[in-house]
């Protein structure tokens, strides 16, 4: 039986094929070279003690929960608040079919904010990475659950050559062999991408198994100040949070209130 992730990756392969019918890797590389775009460093931002460590996510919907907000919600006010109030970075879902996102959402975000911007999508081919750079992304996500260790190494090496930073997302111990020299930022997803069930203890159990010196990010299912304090106590410097804000009628206000509470602790 196919999982949700299997279905998404099959759809993503069709998108990649369609992208290759419109352009080539060489053409995208020429486009990138013609518009210098210095990468904003997520690694540096997460090491900046004056910031919250929160990677605030703009996500319109999810496969398991449907629409969090109106499909027509204007992204500008939300990501501007994320940036102004203290996000260390901003994550933008660009998958349209399952998450309601778009390349336009990322392009708008990069033009508005000053912090690093992560393109959150399902990367399976180098042409998507070149496309991400052309969009203006500073960081891309590589998900171990849908890539082999060799694919991670190849895609991470290519991303680094383009000046992009990489978050390698892991979920369980069987994926530790996906870590390579280019993956110095590791995200541990509390959500199982095959079932979408959330286990908040996932990151804590995995953290002790990671190589020394990597930046650790806790992803998904984070909904309280207590969660962040617990992760920080266990050496995490990043906290990817999206649903907790996006399910609110006013995501910008929800994020502002959350950060105010975090700073008051």
Distance of alpha carbon 110 from alpha carbon 104, whole angstroms: 10
pLDDT of residue 199: 78
DSSP 67-99: ESS-TT--HHHHHHHHHHHT-SEEEEE--STTT
146/210 Cα distance (integer angstroms): 20
| Residue 194: active-site member | no
> How many whole angstroms from its chain centre is CA 223?
17
Measure the CA dihedral 170/81/237/204, to 10°: -50
Active-site position among 91, 132, 189, 190: 189
**37 is known as an active-site residue:** no
Active site residue 131: no
- Phi/psi at 93 (5° precision): -75, 125
Annotated catalytic residue, options 91, 108, 110, 169: 169
Q: Is 47 a catalytic residue?
A: no
> Residue 206 has what pLDDT?
86
Selecting among 203, 220, 227, 244, the annotated active-site residue is: 220
Q: How far apart are CA 38 and CA 89, in angstroms?
A: 15
Tell me, yes or no, if 74 is annotated catalytic. Answer: no
Residue 119, pLDDT score:
98
pLDDT at residue 265, as a whole number: 66
Q: Alpha helix locations (H) across 49-186?
A: 75-85, 103-112, 126-135, 149-161
Helices vs. strands in the chain: H and E counts, helices first: 11, 10
| Whether residue 2 lies in the annotated active site | no
Give the separation between CA 156 and CA 164, rounded to whole angstroms. Answer: 9
Hey, how many other C-beta atoms are within 10 angstroms of the C-beta on 11? 15
User: Does domain 4-264 bear CATH number 3.40.50.300?
Assistant: no
**Catalytic pick among 45, 57, 131, 216:** 57
- Counting as low any pLDDT under 70, the low residues of the chain are 1, 193-196, 265
pLDDT of residue 1: 67
Domain boundaries, the chain: 4-264
Residue 37: what pLDDT?
A: 73
Name the nearest CA neighbour of 113 among 142, 88, 94: 88
Distance from CA of residue 116 to its chain's centroid? 11
Known catalytic residue at 57: yes
User: How many angstroms from the chain centroid is the CA of residue 21?
Assistant: 26
Contact 98, 67 (CB under 8 A): no
Catalytic residue, chosen from 131, 165, 182, 219, is 219
């Amino acid at each position: 039986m196919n999982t949700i992730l299997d279905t998404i990756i099959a759809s993503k392969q069709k998108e990649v094929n369609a992208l290759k019918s419109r352009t080539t890797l060489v053409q995208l590389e020429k486009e990138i070279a013609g518009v210098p775009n210095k990468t904003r460093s997520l690694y540096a931002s997460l090491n900046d003690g004056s910031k919250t460590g929160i990677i605030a996510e703009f996500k319109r919907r999810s496969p398991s929960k449907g629409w969090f907000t109106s499909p027509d919600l204007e992204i500008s006010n939300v990501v501007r608040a994320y940036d102004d109030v203290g996000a260390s970075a901003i994550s933008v879902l660009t998958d349209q079919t399952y998450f309601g996102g778009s390349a336009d959402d990322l392009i708008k975000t990069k033009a508005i904010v000053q912090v690093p911007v992560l393109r959150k999508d399902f990367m399976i081919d180098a042409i998507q990475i070149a496309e991400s750079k052309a969009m203006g992304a500073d960081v891309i996500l590589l998900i171990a659950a849908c890539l082999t260790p060799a694919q991670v190494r190849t895609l991470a090496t290519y991303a680094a050559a383009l000046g992009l930073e990489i978050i390698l997302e892991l979920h369980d111990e069987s994926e530790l062999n996906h870590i390579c020299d280019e993956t110095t930022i590791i995200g541990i997803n509390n959500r199982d991408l095959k079932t979408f069930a959330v286990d908040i203890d996932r990151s804590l159990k995995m953290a002790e198994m990671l190589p020394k010196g990597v930046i650790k990010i806790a992803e998904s299912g984070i909904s309280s100040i207590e969660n962040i304090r617990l992760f920080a106590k266990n050496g995490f410097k990043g906290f990817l949070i999206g649903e907790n804000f996006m399910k609110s009628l006013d995501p910008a206000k929800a994020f502002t209130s959350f950060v105010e509470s975090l700073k008051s602790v």
